[in-house]
């Protein structure tokens, strides 16, 4: 891809026409997410489930434990029951508790506001040091919690962007994240991330993408490859 920044801008522009009016928050620092810790825990809950289920689990967790330090002394089974709707509730409860224990042991408090004072790369590396926090979750916290121009790559983002670019950005989500973050205009990180997820759920679905209904055909390497193959 010769001019990736320009290409990503074109894709963002085309998708914004499709999803104009979609709610794209400046950060997730709005109800019910009020802190960087909230964004981290909500993102951990969102792994391998729907937005609806993870949000409900998060709301139940916050209702049961209004302050994060209450979780440190709560029975794991009780925490797991509280987040059952998010799926993998036993594993997620264990990871969340382990993460809170590490943050407490590292900083003596249960918030992540100190990450605002670090260089973005240091904040990102600290997040990666937490159990159950991989590149996507760390990038979500960077983008939605701290307002840094990170580019989380989930399964939808990876699939759609890979098809669009003819699989030229990398073979793993992490590679695509690195490739995009190194070149994307920081102003469009958030919009492109959110729009690609919407497009992946609605049009560029895993099996049989709905190319006939897609307005990105002119920008899509995979679609064009199929067209050439069928000539």
Which part of the chain contacts ligand SF4 (CB under 6 A), choosing from 18-26, 98-106, 178-186, 215-223? 215-223
Smallest gap from Cβ 198 to ligand SF4, in A, equals: 12
Q: Does 217 bind ligand SF4 (CB under 6 A)?
A: yes
DSSP 3-state percent helix, strand, coil across the chain (nearest 5): 65, 0, 35
CB 8 within 8 A of CB 184: yes
Q: Under rule CB under 6 A, how many of the chain's residues touch ligand SF4?
A: 14
Q: Is 136 labeled as catalytic in the residue annotation?
A: yes
Which part of the chain contacts ligand SF4 (CB under 6 A), choosing from 93-101, 127-135, 145-153, 220-228? 220-228
Other Cβ atoms within 10 Å of 224 Cβ, number:
13
Give the separation between CA 160 and CA 152, rounded to whole angstroms: 13
Q: Does 79 bind ligand SF4 (CB under 6 A)?
A: no
Residues 175-204 binding ligand SF4 (CB under 6 A) are 203-204
The catalytic residue among 62, 136, 171, 207 is 136
Give the separation between CA 19 and CA 157, rounded to whole angstroms: 15
CB 67 within 8 A of CB 41: no
Q: Does 156 bind ligand SF4 (CB under 6 A)?
A: no
Q: Does 214 bind ligand SF4 (CB under 6 A)?
A: yes
Burial group, residue 21, by CB count within 10 angstroms (0-12, 13-18, 19+): exposed
Q: Does 222 bind ligand SF4 (CB under 6 A)?
A: yes
Of the pair 127, 214, the CB lying nearest ligand SF4 is at: 214
Q: Does 157 bind ligand SF4 (CB under 6 A)?
A: no
Q: Per the structure block, which two tokens stand in for 215?
A: 């307005």
Q: Does 136 bind ligand SF4 (CB under 6 A)?
A: no
Q: Which of 127, 77, 122, 124 is nearest to 97 (CA)?
A: 77
Of the pair 132, 166, the CB lying nearest ligand SF4 is at: 166
Length of the chain: 231
Q: What angle do CA 39, 40, 45 make, to 5 degrees?
A: 95
Sign of the Cα torsion 1, 162, 174, 102 reads positive
Of the pair 10, 102, the CB lying nearest ligand SF4 is at: 10
Smallest gap from Cβ 200 to ligand SF4, in A, equals: 8
- Among residues 90, 99, 160, 175, which is the contact residue for ligand SF4, using CB under 6 A? 160
User: Which residues of the shown chain bind ligand SF4 in the complex (CB under 6 A)?
Assistant: 160, 163-164, 203-204, 209-211, 214, 216-217, 220, 222-223
């Amino acid at each position: 891809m010769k001019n990736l920044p320009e290409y990503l801008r074109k894709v963002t522009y085309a998708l914004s026409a499709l999803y104009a009016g979609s709610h794209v928050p400046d950060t997730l620092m709005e109800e019910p997410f009020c802190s960087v810790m909230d964004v981290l825990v909500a993102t951990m809950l969102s792994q391998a489930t729907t937005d609806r289920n993870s949000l409900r689990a998060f709301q139940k967790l916050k209702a049961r434990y209004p302050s994060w330090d209450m979780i440190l002394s709560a029975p794991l089974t009780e925490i797991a029951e509280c987040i059952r709707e998010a799926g993998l509730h036993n594993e997620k409860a264990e990871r969340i508790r382990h993460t809170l224990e590490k943050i407490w042991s590292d900083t003596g408090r249960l918030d992540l506001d100190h990450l605002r004072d670090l260089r973005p790369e240091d904040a990102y590396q600290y997040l990666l040091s937490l159990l159950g926090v991989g590149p996507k979750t760390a990038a979500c916290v960077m983008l939605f919690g701290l307002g840094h121009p990170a580019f989380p790559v989930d399964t939808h983002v990876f699939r759609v962007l890979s098809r669009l670019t003819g699989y030229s950005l990398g073979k793993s989500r992490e590679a695509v994240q690195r490739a995009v973050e190194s070149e994307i205009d920081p102003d469009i990180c958030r919009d492109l991330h959110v729009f690609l997820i919407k497009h992946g759920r609605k049009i560029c679905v895993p099996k049989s993408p709905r190319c006939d209904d897609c307005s990105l055909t002119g920008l899509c390497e995979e679609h064009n490859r199929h067209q050439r193959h069928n000539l």
